[in-house]
Amino acid sequence: MALFLPFPATQSRKWLRTEEGTQRKGRGLMDEYQIVEEDFNSKVKEMLSILGERRRFFPLDLSSSALLVIDMQDFFLSEESHAFVPSSKFIVPNVQALIEAYKKEGLPVVFSRHAHKGPEDLGMMGKWWSDPMMDDDPFTKISDSMNVGDSDILVRKTRYSMFHGTKLADMLRDKGVKKVVITGVTTHLCCESTARAAFMLDFEVYSVIDGTATWEDDMHLASLRTSSHGFSVPVTTKEVLEAIGG
């Protein structure tokens, strides 16, 4: 369950699996994996070589963009949570750098927090998942590692996409935003769904390769490959920082 793995798979991936899973609030067990291989930068380069043919709109112009920080909550970032995304620890510094740079340039930063206030708004999320993220669960708070400020936009969502059932599109347009940069978790669910929705609303979409994460490497890469075919441009943290002067 790594973040970055060359495609096709090689034998360079190494894992250390603990003997016991992590249990929280009686919700069941989930095997916990710890990443041994930490050559993060080389994996990013390998993914860039795979996704290179899908790169558009270069050189980057992100002057009218907003940074979307999707579901960086303890539910996914805390090792005490059964839904912990092991590879999230690699993207936290990158997301932090992007948040700081966007704020420095006076560009909008939007944080999403997935949380249901009651069974009435669960919909298919309640049918699909046995452990919906409820508003009163302490693990649904945004991680302390994220610098959420008073001027930032905070969106509570109940579906994968940040745009579904929220006023995010209107809020972004009111601020003159025409482009969105996608970061956070999980790549193939909430990040990809948000990217698709943004594209359908005529925003120019960029997905940060080393600023998004999910549980399995093949899902991460497959999502980025699919997204880059028709609605989202794959970029790196470094490229975004350079584009906005960070």
Q: Is 184 left (phi over 0), alpha (psi -120 to 50) or beta?
A: left
**34 within some domain:** yes
Identify the pLDDT of residue 9.
32
Mean pLDDT of 217-225: 92
**49 within some domain:** yes
Mean pLDDT of 27-50: 60
Please write the tens of the pLDDT for every residue from 149-207.
998 999 999 999 999 999 999 999 999 999 999 999 999 999 999 999 999 999 999 99
**207 within some domain:** yes
Supply the CATH number for residue 83's domain. Answer: 3.40.50.850
- Cα–Cα distance for residue pair 54/98, rounded to 1 Å: 23
- Cα–Cα distance for residue pair 189/196, rounded to 1 Å: 11
Q: What share of the chain has pLDDT > 90, as a percent?
A: 65
Please write the tens of the pLDDT for every residue from 16-25.
233 333 344 4
**193 within some domain:** yes
- Cα–Cα distance for residue pair 217/37, rounded to 1 Å: 13
Number of domains the chain contains: 1
Q: Which domain holds residue 130?
A: 15-243
Let me know: does 65 contact 181? Beta carbons within 8 Å.
yes
**1 within some domain:** no
DSSP state of 34: E
Let me know: does 82 contact 22? Beta carbons within 8 Å.
yes
**6 within some domain:** no
- Cα–Cα distance for residue pair 73/68, rounded to 1 Å: 14
Pairing state of beta strands 15-17 and 33-35? Answer: antiparallel
**47 within some domain:** yes
